[in-house]
């Protein structure tokens, strides 16, 4: 849309580079071209603005295939106005001189023309194509047919319109038909997925079996080695017991021999000690006998009184020390009587001795 400003009853228009502006006054063309800027009077000016940039026209329409199935066609047509003067003469691109707004709807008219033309060519193609073929190859066929039909349409060049490109976005059947068509494919995909799952499970089971067999073989090998280890340990234990028994036998023999030697030495020593003790005892006995004999010979030659005196002396030496002696009258009487009797006996023995 052109940019229009007001100044003291005059209007100033500033156009865009992608907009072709035509200015007529009193039937004469004063300004013609894109990106113009000029002053004009609103009461005497006739303005038209034609866009010359590429424009996208999205269209959606329904068609029926040869097997009477409805499909929705989504397409996009790129076009541009190659001859603005011709387009302004065929379509109403006039703008309000005060606001710059189109007075009509020229782009809608142009869009209707392109849509109906493209729809006609698409219907011709799909009417001779089955639904399955349309879903498989229909997009390319419809695109080529629409592009060729628009290029061959005489009304478009006569209106100054050039079709740049045509694209078909999608061909879609009705939702129920689409679900019905998707079902076999989904079933096939599900079957493939199940098959892949089963194969993966089979591979996993096979691997688990191989792992289990390896573990079993490892356990068997381990048990066999443990059995060998037990046998070797038993052999080692028996050998150790035999060695220990042989060592004990050698030790016992040595201990017995040592004990025998010690016993023999002890017996010999005992015999020697017994002989020495016997010899010593014999010598001691002989010495005692000789001493006793000498003592007896000595005492046989000593008088009786001397013997009595020696006896008393020996007795006195062996008696315990007496601190004090208490003599009762009875003891004193008996002692005196004894002493008296002894004195009398001595008196009697005296004369007889002397006579003797």
Is 71 or 319 the better-scoring residue by pLDDT? Answer: 71
All residues at 6 or more sequence positions from 129 whose CB lies less than 8 Å from its CB, including other chains:
65, 66, 138, 141
Spatial contact of 59 and 122, defined as CB atoms under 8 Å apart: no
pLDDT, position 331: 63
d(CA 20, CA 87): 11
pLDDT, position 352: 43
Tell me the per-residue pLDDT of 151-161, one tens digit each, with 9 for 90 and over: 988 999 999 99
Least confident of 127-131, 221-225, 296-300: 296-300
Residues facing residue 225 across a β-bridge: none
pLDDT of 84 > 50? The answer is: yes
Average pLDDT over residues 176-192: 83
pLDDT of 356 > 90? The answer is: no
Tell me the per-residue pLDDT of 2-31, one tens digit each, with 9 for 90 and over: 788 888 889 998 988 899 999 999 889 999
pLDDT of 350 > 80? The answer is: no
Spatial contact of 48 and 104, defined as CB atoms under 8 Å apart: no
pLDDT of 297 > 50? The answer is: yes
pLDDT of 162 > 90? The answer is: yes
Average pLDDT over residues 86-113: 90
Average pLDDT over residues 138-149: 90
pLDDT, position 167: 92
Residues facing residue 71 across a β-bridge: 63, 173
pLDDT, position 50: 93
Q: What is the pTM of this model?
A: 0.51
Q: How many CB atoms lie within 10 A of CB 59?
A: 19
pLDDT, position 346: 55
Mean residue pLDDT of the chain comes to 84
Tell me the per-residue pLDDT of 41-61, one tens digit each, with 9 for 90 and over: 988 899 999 999 999 999 998
Q: If pLDDT is split at 50, 70 and 90, which confidence band does 319 have?
A: low
Task: Report the first-to-last Cα separation within the chain, whole angstroms.
Answer: 206
pLDDT of 194 > 80? The answer is: yes
Is 306 or 223 the better-scoring residue by pLDDT? Answer: 223
Tell me the per-residue pLDDT of 230-273, one tens digit each, with 9 for 90 and over: 989 889 988 888 888 888 888 888 888 888 888 888 888 888 88
Average pLDDT over residues 140-160: 90
Residue 228 C-beta-side C-alpha neighbours within 13 Å: 6
Instruction: Supply the DSSP string of 43-95, one letter for each residue.
Output: TTEEEEEEE-S-EEEEEEEEEE-TTS-EEEEEEEEEEEES-HHHHHHHS--EE
Percent of the chain past pLDDT 90, that is, above it, reads: 30
């Amino acid at each position: 849309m052109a940019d229009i400003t007001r100044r003291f009853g005059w209007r100033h228009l500033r156009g865009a580079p992608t907009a072709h502006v035509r200015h007529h006054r009193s039937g004469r063309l004063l300004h013609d071209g894109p990106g113009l800027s000029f002053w004009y009077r609103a009461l005497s000016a006739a303005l038209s603005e034609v866009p010359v940039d590429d424009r996208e026209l999205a269209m959606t329409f329904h068609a029926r295939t040869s097997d009477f199935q409805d499909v929705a066609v989504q397409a996009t047509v790129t076009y541009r106005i190659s001859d603005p003067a011709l387009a302004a003469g065929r379509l109403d691109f006039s703008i309000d001189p005060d606001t710059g707004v189109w007075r009509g709807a020229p782009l809608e008219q142009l869009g209707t023309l392109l849509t109906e033309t493209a729809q006609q060519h698409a219907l011709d193609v799909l009417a001779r194509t089955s639904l399955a073929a349309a879903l498989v190859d229909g997009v390319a066929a419809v695109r080529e047919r629409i592009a060729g039909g628009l290029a061959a349409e005489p009304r478009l060049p006569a209106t100054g319109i050039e079709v740049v490109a045509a694209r078909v976005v999608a061909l879609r059947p009705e939702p129920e038909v689409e679900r019905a068509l998707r079902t076999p494919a989904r079933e096939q995909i599900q079957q493939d997925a199940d098959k892949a799952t089963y194969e993966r499970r089979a591979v996993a089971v096979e691997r688990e079996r191989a792992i289990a067999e390896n573990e079993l073989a490892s356990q068997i090998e381990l048990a066999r080695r443990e059995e060998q280890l037990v046998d070797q340990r038993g052999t080692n234990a028996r050998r150790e017991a035999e060695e220990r028994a042989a060592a004990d036998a050698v030790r016992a023999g040595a201990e017995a021999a040592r004990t025998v030697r010690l016993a023999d030495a002890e017996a010999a020593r005992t015999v020697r000690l017994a002989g020495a003790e016997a010899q010593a005892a014999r010598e001691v006995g002989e010495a005692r006998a000789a001493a006793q004999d000498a003592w007896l010979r000595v005492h046989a030659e000593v008088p009786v009184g001397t013997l009595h005196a020696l006896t008393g002396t020996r007795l006195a030496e062996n008696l315990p020390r007496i601190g004090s002696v208490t003599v009762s009258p009875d003891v004193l009487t008996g002692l005196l009587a004894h002493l008296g009797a002894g004195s009398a006996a001595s008196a009697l023995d005296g004369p007889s001795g002397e006579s003797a």
